């Protein structure tokens, strides 16, 4: 599974690199904040919402700590999608963990 750190993602976003981001956290979690431009698709809804994900694009998958996004990446890779897991999730993005 491909991975990207929050620092790598932040640096590339600041340089203007466009990314397709999918946030797989639950509704109450995303209410506390999301990375701008991320699309919210809760983990449990991914199988029924595959038509919203373009196989021709690469995606970075985000959750709270990196576990659920890792499971989402495994599932999406098996379906033929190009996905990368954001290691450390939003906790690392917000600086709560290293």
Question: Is 73 considered catalytic here?
Answer: no
Q: Reduce the secondary structure of the chain to three states and give it as a string.
A: CEEEEHHHHHHHHHCCCCCEEEECCCHHHHCCCCCCCCEECCHHHCHHHHHHCCCCCEEEEECCCCHHHHHHHHHHHHCCCEEEEEECHHHHHCCCCC
- Which residue is catalytic, options 9, 22, 41, 63? 63
Give catalytic residue positions: 63
């Amino acid at each position: 599974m491909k991975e990207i750190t929050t620092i790598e993602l932040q640096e590339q976003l600041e340089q203007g690199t466009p990314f397709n981001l999918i946030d797989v956290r639950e509704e109450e979690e995303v209410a506390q904040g999301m990375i701008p431009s991320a699309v919210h698709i809760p983990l449990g809804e991914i199988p029924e919402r595959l038509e919203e994900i373009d196989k021709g694009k690469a995606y970075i998958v985000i959750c709270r700590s990196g576990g659920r996004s890792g499971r989402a990446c495994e599932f999406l890779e098996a379906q033929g999608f190009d996905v990368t897991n954001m290691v450390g999730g939003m906790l690392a993005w917000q600086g709560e963990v290293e």
